[in-house]
A and B are shown apart, each in its own frame.
Chain A
């Protein structure tokens, strides 16, 4: 049995150490907000936080994350909506929504590193998160809005 903490709750899972975290979250724990897009870290749809850092959960294997704290989109706001989530709703960012949990987790990471990002900063950091619906313009607007909410005016 291997142990991990997801959104503050400790879990024990009986899986092989090589199982990707994404599989553990979705198939073992029923947390389906991180999405399977490519399985090779090329799309960003599976992004979660591991010990506070954005990581592609298709690449983190169970042996790599045992004992670490995993946070999915459900818990990034500590019981309320995170300013990034608020901005996403206000600007109606998603279309189909499939990539959006990964987009928001990456945006939170961006705002931690760069509290007041320029468009260029956003292009740099968000380029690893693909959106087939093409919501990039709304993502950019929402990130600026979230930055303002978080004080990076």
Chain B
């Protein structure tokens, strides 16, 4: 009887996991627009808005090169500077070789405290992978990189939308760029950004230049 109950519970658990996956996939697919439904010109307009987001300090400051030194743009300032305290993310990009990012950027789904307290996220704090460099790059360079599966984590346009939704489901870094404890935030909202990414994707991911 106990074995039967265990099997039933296991099957029920699997069904819930499968159902959750289905619901998540369905929810994520709601964002995508039919390919070709957006003109190239409209796609480029969407890209201009995306560019303003991905080059904003809240988004670019942890997308740094192999030196792995994160960038600070403190509240009330527009000039960027290197992160204080000799912090670097190391090869791991999480700082585990010296001082883990999570020493101060504690993993939390609670709202961020006001600046200058460090930002938090529901995902362990870390730098973006080294091939995803945004800081110091032009919009055209980031555009080419963002649509290149070799430099975007192997994602197509739909995959990029799923990435945004997945990150948001974990109270991750992306939506929190707009909840920055009083620091400046990228233009628009997270939902605007998702819509722009969908439009850019449906237009065939056009890049300027």
Contact = CB atoms under 8 A, between A and B. Distances in A.
Interface of A: 17-18, 39-42, 47, 53-56, 59-61, 63-64, 109-110, 113-114, 121, 123-125, 127-128
Given A64-B108, A124-B98, 11 more contacts: A17-B110, A40-B118, A41-B103, A47-B103, A59-B117, A63-B108, A109-B103, A113-B96, A114-B98, A124-B86, A128-B85
Interface of B: 84-88, 96-100, 102-110, 113, 116-118, 120
A60 B108 CA distance: 8
A11 B145 CA distance: 50
8 contacts: A40-B118, A41-B117, A56-B106, A59-B105, A59-B113, A60-B106, A110-B98, A124-B88
Nearest to A110: B98
B91 to A, nearest CB: 13
A39 B113 CA distance: 11
Tell me what chain A mostly uses at the interface: helix, strand, loop, or mixed.
mixed
Given A40-B116, A40-B118, A128-B99, A59 B106 contact: yes
A113 B98 contact: yes
Contacts of A61: 106, 108, 110
A127 B82 CA distance: 14
B118 A41 contact: yes
